[in-house]
Amino acid sequence: MQQERVMVITGGAKNIGKGIALEFLNNGWKVGIIDLDEQGLKEFPISEDLLTYWGDVSDECAVKDFYGKVKSRFGRLDVLINNAAIGGFKDFLQLSVAEWSRVIQVNLTGYFLMARFGVPLILENPGTGAIINISSTRALMSEPGNEAYSASKAGILGLTHALANSLGPKIRVNAVCPGWILHEDEIISEKEHSQHLVGRAGTIKDIAQLVFFLADEEKSGFITGQHFVIDGGMTKKMIYL
What Rg do the C-alpha atoms of the chain give, in angstroms? 18
Q: How many CB atoms lie within 10 A of CB 109?
A: 19
Exposure of 187 by Cβ count < 10 A (0-12 exposed, 13-18 middle, 19+ buried)?
Answer: exposed
- Give the separation between CA 47 and CA 218, rounded to whole angstroms: 27
H helix runs in 27-169, sequence order:
38-43, 60-74, 97-104, 110-123, 147-167
Residues annotated catalytic, as ranges: 149
Return the amino acid letter for 193. Answer: H
